[in-house]
């Protein structure tokens, strides 16, 4: 067991501290990992262990922000380290960094609870993975703290909610159905002068549309929790306000009720519209500029091609051919930039996966391919370019699968997440390319669309990987995190 305290003030992570438990038997590999993290600007406190006993002592006696583990070690393994960490019932991100790990092992590890895996010969992915998983862990901790706060005594609860600037309510759903409690922020938000006046109304009349009411109840019944549902509510004077609702449903001793928080986001919606208009103007300017550049490139390319036909040999011929290649590369880069610039311009929204998938393949020649989509009513919260992300996957299957005959798309609920699988019966992806196809690799321009797919999905925390077997077909798996999916029966 080794301890060290290393400080660095480099890059965007200046003065960020990180308590790292490193499960690694190789001193050289540990040195490389620590150096990579230090270069990212972290104030690093690290303890290295490589046996079960030492790791157990470290988990019991210290508080850690992150666990990084090798997968294969003489006295220990990554899977054993993951199992041991889970026995402590603490929320610490776990990342596997290994030089030898197959895609099946990587997928099984992520399903078992590992947040990510990074190959030792590709440590450029390590820092983004650390930053993402630390942020996700912080979000989970904040969510748990909110639930604990809600379980405090009723007197403290009422005292607290009367001081917050958002609406808080409790809605009874059993025999004595009606509003049991609302704080002053809520009934004032909706234009009522007192709690008694507010409690006298029929609660369902607050919903502007029947569809909004049905959506609220479908989500709360299916998932037992609503996170960030944005709908319009009716005020006393019949005006409308935009709200964001977070709520949970509880059943106990034959009673059922909903506890929730309502935030007035009308100003936010107005600002979003203004931002949307500004983004459209910027997008228009971007389109005009890129189109103008493309026209000039086309003209230059045409003249250069004409010049090439007139200079058939001699010392200037190679210069002309190099110029044409550079022009072609510029045209490809502009096309890539046009696609990339569309991401994140518009807000994510709920989308029915089956419908989006059908729209995506409608733009491709899928007539000779047998299709089987078993997606039911599954919806995901994703960037509006989700259709483009699926299109890119299907397009890559057709282009690189070599005589594809069948494509299947299914989903599976796994604890607090959903895994969407796209499976084909083509050649699949070679093991050495499974991670590379999702990178922005200049030597692999044919796969740039999958880099865009990963970026589009990551906007709402969706991860994608290929777990197929080479020569037997590709198997793209999209891992949808908690709160980013919903299913209606």
**CATH number (domain holding residue 183):** 3.30.450.20
Examine the pLDDT at 59 and tell me if it is beyond 90. yes
Lowest mean pLDDT among 54-63, 251-260, 351-360, 458-467: 251-260
Cite the beta strand spans of 191-293 per DSSP E.
225-234, 240-252, 255-264
Residue 447 · residue 441 · CB < 8 Å: yes
Residue 356 shares a structural domain with residue 466: yes
Residue 96 · residue 103 · CB < 8 Å: no
Residue 57 shares a structural domain with residue 131: yes
CA dist list (Å): 83 to 80, 99, 130: 5, 20, 20
Give me the torsion for CA of 354, 356, 362, 368, rounded to 10°. -40
The per-residue pLDDT for 420 is 97
Domain end among 223, 248, 264: 264
Q: What's the whole-number mean pLDDT along residues 45-63? A: 92
Examine the pLDDT at 7 and tell me if it is beyond 50. no
Residue 468: which of 403, 401, 405 has the closest Cα? Answer: 401
Give me the torsion for CA of 45, 51, 57, 63, rounded to 10°. 30
Distance from C-alpha of 319 to C-alpha of 443, rounded to nearest angstrom:
22
The per-residue pLDDT for 476 is 96
Residue 70: which of 132, 27, 17, 11 has the closest Cα? Answer: 27
**CATH number (domain holding residue 384):** 3.30.565.10
Residue 255 shares a structural domain with residue 366: no
Q: What is the pLDDT of residues 138-166, one digit of tens each?
A: 888 888 888 777 676 666 767 777 888 89
Residue 16 shares a structural domain with residue 138: yes
Residue 332 shares a structural domain with residue 421: no
Examine the pLDDT at 80 and tell me if it is beyond 60. yes
The per-residue pLDDT for 14 is 52
The per-residue pLDDT for 189 is 93
The per-residue pLDDT for 296 is 81
**CATH number (domain holding residue 118):** 3.40.50.2300
Residue 213 shares a structural domain with residue 309: no
Domain, as residue range, for 251: 154-264
Q: What is the pLDDT of residues 379-427, one digit of tens each?
A: 999 998 899 899 999 998 998 888 889 999 999 999 889 999 999 999 8
Residue 166 shares a structural domain with residue 253: yes
Give me the torsion for CA of 395, 400, 403, 405, rounded to 10°. -50
Domain end among 218, 244, 264: 264
Q: Of 107-121, 127-141, 368-382, 437-451, give the range with the top mean pLDDT.
A: 368-382
Distance from C-alpha of 22 to C-alpha of 197, rounded to nearest angstrom:
60
Distance from C-alpha of 319 to C-alpha of 308, rounded to nearest angstrom:
10
Examine the pLDDT at 299 and tell me if it is beyond 50. yes
Give just the sign of the alpha carbon dihedral 249, 253, 255, 260: negative
More confident position, 48 or 295 = 48
Query: pLDDT band at residue 371, thresholds of 50, 70 and 90?
Result: very high
Residue 139 shares a structural domain with residue 161: no
Query: pLDDT band at residue 89, thresholds of 50, 70 and 90?
Result: confident
Residue 85 shares a structural domain with residue 177: no
Residue 365 shares a structural domain with residue 470: yes
Q: What percent of the chain has pLDDT over 90?
A: 37
Domain count of the fold of the chain: 4
Distance from C-alpha of 375 to C-alpha of 61, rounded to nearest angstrom:
46
The per-residue pLDDT for 8 is 36
What is the residue-averaged pLDDT of the chain? 85
Residue 408 shares a structural domain with residue 481: yes
The per-residue pLDDT for 32 is 92
Examine the pLDDT at 15 and tell me if it is beyond 60. no
Residue partners of 317: CB distance under 8 A and separation at least 6: 308, 311
Identify the bridge partners of residue 225 per DSSP, sorted by sequence position.
248
The per-residue pLDDT for 457 is 92
Domain end among 236, 264, 292: 264
Q: What is the pLDDT of residues 90-126, one digit of tens each?
A: 889 999 998 877 778 888 888 888 899 898 888 889 9
Q: What's the whole-number mean pLDDT along residues 70-92? A: 89
Backbone phi, psi, residue 414, to 5°: -125, 100
The per-residue pLDDT for 9 is 36
Distance from C-alpha of 469 to C-alpha of 195, rounded to nearest angstrom:
62
Residue 254 shares a structural domain with residue 277: no
Identify the bridge partners of residue 382 per DSSP, sorted by sequence position.
349
């Amino acid at each position: 067991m080794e301890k060290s305290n290393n400080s660095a003030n480099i890059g965007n992570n200046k003065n960020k501290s990180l308590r790292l438990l490193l499960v690694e038997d190789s001193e050289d590999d540990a040195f490389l990992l620590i150096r990579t993290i230090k270069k990212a600007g972290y104030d690093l406190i690290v303890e290295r262990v490589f046996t079960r006993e030492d790791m157990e002592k470290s988990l019991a006696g210290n508080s850690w922000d992150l666990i990084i583990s090798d997968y294969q070690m003489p006295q220990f393994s990554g899977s054993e380290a993951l199992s041991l960490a889970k026995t402590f019932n603490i929320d610490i991100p776990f990342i596997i960094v290994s030089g030898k790990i197959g895609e099946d092992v990587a997928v099984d590890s992520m399903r078992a609870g590992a947040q990510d895996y990074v190959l030792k010969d590709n440590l450029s992915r390590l820092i983004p993975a650390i930053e993402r998983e630390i942020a996700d862990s912080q979000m989970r901790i904040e969510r748990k703290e909110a639930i604990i706060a809600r379980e405090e005594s009723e007197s403290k609860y009422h005292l607290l909610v009367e001081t917050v600037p958002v609406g808080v309510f409790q809605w009874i759903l059993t025999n004595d159905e009606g509003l049991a409690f609302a704080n002053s922020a809520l009934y004032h938000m909706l234009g009522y002068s007192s709690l008694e006046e507010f409690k006298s109304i029929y609660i369902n009349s607050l919903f502007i549309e029947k569809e909004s009411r049905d959506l609220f109840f479908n989500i709360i019944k299916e998932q037992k929790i609503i996170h960030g549902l944005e709908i319009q509510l009716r005020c006393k004077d019949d005006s409308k306000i935009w709200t964001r609702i977070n709520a949970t449903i509880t059943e106990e001793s034959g009673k059922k009720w909903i506890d929730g928080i309502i935030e007035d986001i009308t100003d936010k919606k107005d600002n979003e519209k203004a931002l949307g208009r500004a983004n459209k103007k910027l997008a228009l300017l971007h389109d005009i500029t890129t189109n103008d550049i493309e026209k000039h490139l086309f003209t230059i390319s045409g003249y250069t091609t004409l010049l090439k036909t007139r200079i058939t040999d001699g010392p200037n011929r190679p210069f002309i051919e190099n110029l044409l290649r550079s022009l072609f590369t510029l045209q490809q880069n502009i096309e890539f930039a046009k696609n990339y610039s569309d991401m994140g311009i518009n807000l994510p929204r709920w989308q029915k996966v089956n419908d989006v998938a059908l729209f995506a393949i409608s733009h491709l020649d899928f007539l000779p391919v047998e299709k089987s989509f078993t997606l039911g009513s599954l919806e995901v919260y994703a960037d509006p370019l989700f259709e483009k992300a699926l299109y890119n996957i299907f397009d890559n299957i057709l282009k690189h699968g070599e005589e594809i005959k069948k494509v299947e798309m299914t989903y599976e609920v796994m604890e607090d997440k959903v895994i969407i699988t796209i499976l084909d019966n083509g050649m699949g992806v070679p093991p050495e390319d499974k991670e590379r196809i999702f990178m922005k690799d200049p030597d692999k321009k044919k796969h740039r669309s999958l880099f865009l797919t990963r970026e589009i999905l990551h906007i709402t925390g969706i991860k994608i990987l290929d777990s197929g077997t080479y020569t037997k077909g590709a198997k793209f798996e999209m891992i949808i995190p908690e709160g980013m999916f919903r299913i209606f029966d």
